[in-house]
């Protein structure tokens, strides 16, 4: 309604009368009636997210919004936002006038102060005035028209705050980065509000930024005149605060500031650089999303009351007391000590490694983080490189990755920060027959045809300095199988070598490994396409890639032909029922291929998009056909691009 009221009522009746006189509803009362009304109201405060009343409740009170804002929810399961009611708005009159139960649910979107009058006083005082009845009729007609139109109110401004535990730095870097990235990702208007503590009384000539209390009392056009144009097209506003304020005054002040500015901005980001405890504790009264810089991630506390805002924790390694963490989940966000961030690398293309966590954080705020599940399949897994190449070419972000078997080797290299072109070049080089021979180390004592040590010796050096999960650029996990329990084992800490080595241990072919008392084999035995792990890591969207094809009769691997030719020299092979059957090796590998294709598609059912390259003309051992296999991955992903773009919001 555009009225500006005193944010806090007092027990002084004359001040309460003055405040009520500013509200249109009470302008129809005579002075003595207004004074009587002022004495009949009680003041109640509702923090952000708190429910005032629910649809179906008895209508026993009448409300007037004094400060803050109420949201009116209706429709199926109260899922439709019907209206927002600001200072001066009457609420709850319909159920009192009609004698019905509440028709909608009211909730505070900010810290909100209401004036509350009971049903009897409402009837005795207000319903005897014809002009007030006429006013109520107009309000009811307007609300019924809005409700019957079936249209929801436009989504409200998202308010983000960035603060830190005492003594930690990084709030300004993170808040400005978030503002710029939200602008880049959405194209919407973004405001960055920088909060500074005012010490002393500056001279007028200094043109100091306004105090918070001054800003919320300004006319809106004057307040807009204080906005500056910042980098990357965002708007900036500097606000000063005093150190001697209470939690409620900070919270109420910032909530009112948001109400004054939200019509112009889709996102408002507060840089709460101060170490003031009252300021830190007030964020719940005006914030939707809090980004908190911490030394160590907080352990979840199920007994704690539900917060009215979402919190994301960020570990900033520029702080000397902070230590690296395994990069194996969407959260917590770990900001590396990368000087490039201070040199404008935030918006560079391709994304600078130091800026990767901030990009993921911004997409998490928007609910748009993308994770990719790379399935197993030996040589079939080379198709993953084609998949990732197409995603990268079309600017589809990949925020985290999970790999199984061959997918674990591709996933780790990608998460370590190697470019797709580098990975494809290495795949072509390692796929040469001369290189493949170097990976063979037959085992005599271990439970597998190959010991697997030479495969490790060939691959691990390619990772260079990236040896542990703490060294990764993007979150990554691998999956293996506990062969004694059948359980899937997600690996996201420790040595990268141990992680991929356990995941590629194909039963019978490559010897299993031991990890924390478990005997681990190929993850494809339990989860060939680990889409569920992508979800568990915190991705909002999941792309699952099942590279294992169904068997195609007549397609035979080179190794099978060699085995069959050698069998001809065995005179016993011409006798008995085995003469017309495939050899034991083919039976084992074909059985696993069939199992992994079917189980992989089933495990990928929770994914938003599934990619299935057509590799039925290939076999699992044909690494030397890397060019053709990668091209098949490219082809399959290009076919799925419309579906992928639609899911990530890039289809317009």
Q: Which amino acids are annotated catalytic? A: 405, 522
DSSP state of 439: T
Residue 151 to residue 643: CA distance in whole angstroms: 28
φ, ψ at 215 (rounded to 5°): -65, -40
Residue 18 to residue 480: CA distance in whole angstroms: 71
Contact 93, 109 (CB under 8 A): no
Residue 131 to residue 128: CA distance in whole angstroms: 9
Give the sheet arrangement for strand 80-85, strand by strand: 51-53, 105-108, 70-74, 80-85
Angle at 480 between CA 475 and CA 484, to 5 degrees: 150
Burial class (CB in 10 A: 0-12, 13-18, 19+), 339: exposed
- Rg of the chain on CA atoms, in Å: 32
Complete DSSP assignment for 453-501: HHHHHHHGGGGTT--BGGG-SS-EEEEEEETTT--EEEE-SSBHHHHHH
Start-to-end CA distance of the chain, whole Å, equals 36
Task: Label residue 304 left, alpha or beta by phi (over 0 means left) and psi (-120 to 50 means alpha).
Answer: beta
> How is residue 340 written in tokens?
């490039």
φ, ψ at 151 (rounded to 5°): -90, 140
> How is residue 306 written in tokens?
């539900």
């Amino acid at each position: 309604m555009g009225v500006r009221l005193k944010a806090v009522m007092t027990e002084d009746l004359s001040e309460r009368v003055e405040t009520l006189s500013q509200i249109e509803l009470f302008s129809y009362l005579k002075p003595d009636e207004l004074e009587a009304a002022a004495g009949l109201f009680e003041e109640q405060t509702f923090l952000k997210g708190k429910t005032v009343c629910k649809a179906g409740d008895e209508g026993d009170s009448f409300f007037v919004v004094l400060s803050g804002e109420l949201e009116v929810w209706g429709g199926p399961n109260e899922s439709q936002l019907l209206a927002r009611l600001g200072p001066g708005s009457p609420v709850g009159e319909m159920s009192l006038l009609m004698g019905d139960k509440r028709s909608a649910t009211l909730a505070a979107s900010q810290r909100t102060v209401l004036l509350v009058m009971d049903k009897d006083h409402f009837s005795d005082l207000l319903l005897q005035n014809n002009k007030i009845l006429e006013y109520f009729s107009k309000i009811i007609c307007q609300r019924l028209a809005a409700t019957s139109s079936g249209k929801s109110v436009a989504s409200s401004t998202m308010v983000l705050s960035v603060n830190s535990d005492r003594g930690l730095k990084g709030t300004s870097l993170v808040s400005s980065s978030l503002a710029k990235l939200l602008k880049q990702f959405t194209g919407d208007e973004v405001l960055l509000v920088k909060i500074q503590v005012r010490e002393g009384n500056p001279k007028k000539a200094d043109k100091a930024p306004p105090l918070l209390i001054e800003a919320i009392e300004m006319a809106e056009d004057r307040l807009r005149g204080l906005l500056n144009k910042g980098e990357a097209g965002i708007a900036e506003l500097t606000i000063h605060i005093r150190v001697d304020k209470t939690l409620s005054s900070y919270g109420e002040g910032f909530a009112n500031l948001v109400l004054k500015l939200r019509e112009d901005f889709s996102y408002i980001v507060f840089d709460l650089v101060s170490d003031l405890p009252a300021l830190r504790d007030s964020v719940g009264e005006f914030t939707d999303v809090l980004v908190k810089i911490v030394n160590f991630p907080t352990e979840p506390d199920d007994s704690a009351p539900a917060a009215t805002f979402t919190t994301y924790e960020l570990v900033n390694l520029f702080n000397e007391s902070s230590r690296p963490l395994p990069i194996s989940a969407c959260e917590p966000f770990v900001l590396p000590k990368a000087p490039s961030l201070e040199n404008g690398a935030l918006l560079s293309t391709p994304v600078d490694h130091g800026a990767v966590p901030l990009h993921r954080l911004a997409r998490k705020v928007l609910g748009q983080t993308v994770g990719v599940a790379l399935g197993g399949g030996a040589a079939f897994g080379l198709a993953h490189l084609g998949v990732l190449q197409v995603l990268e070419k079309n600017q589809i972000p990949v925020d985290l990755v999970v790999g199984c078997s061959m997918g674990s080797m591709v996933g780790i290299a990608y998460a370590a920060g190697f470019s797709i072109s580098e990975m494809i070049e290495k795949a072509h080089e390692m796929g040469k027959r001369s290189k493949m021979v170097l990976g063979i180390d037959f085992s005599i004592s271990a439970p597998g045809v190959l010991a697997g040590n030479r495969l490790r010796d060939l691959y691990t050096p390619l990772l260079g300095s990236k040896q542990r999960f703490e060294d990764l650029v993007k979150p990554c996990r691998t999956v293996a199988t506990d062969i004694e329990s059948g359980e899937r084992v997600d690996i996201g800490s420790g040595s990268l070598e141990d992680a991929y080595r356990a995941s590629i241990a194909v039963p019978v072919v490559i010897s299993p490994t031991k990890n924390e008392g478990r005997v681990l084999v190929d993850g494809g035995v339990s989860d060939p396409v680990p889409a569920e792990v992508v979800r568990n890591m915190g991705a909002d969207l999941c792309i699952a890639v099942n590279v294992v094809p169904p068997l195609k009769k007549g397609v035979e691997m080179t190794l099978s032909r060699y085995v069959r030719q050698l069998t001809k020299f065995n005179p016993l092979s011409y006798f008995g029922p085995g003469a017309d059957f495939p050899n034991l090796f083919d039976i084992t590998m074909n059985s696993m291929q069939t199992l992994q294709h079917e189980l992989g598609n089933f495990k990928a059912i929770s994914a938003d998009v599934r990619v299935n390259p057509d590799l039925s003309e290939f076999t699992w051992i044909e690494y030397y056909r890397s060019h053709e296999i990668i091209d098949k991955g490219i082809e399959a992903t290009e076919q799925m691009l419309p579906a992928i773009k639609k899911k990530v919001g890039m289809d317009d």
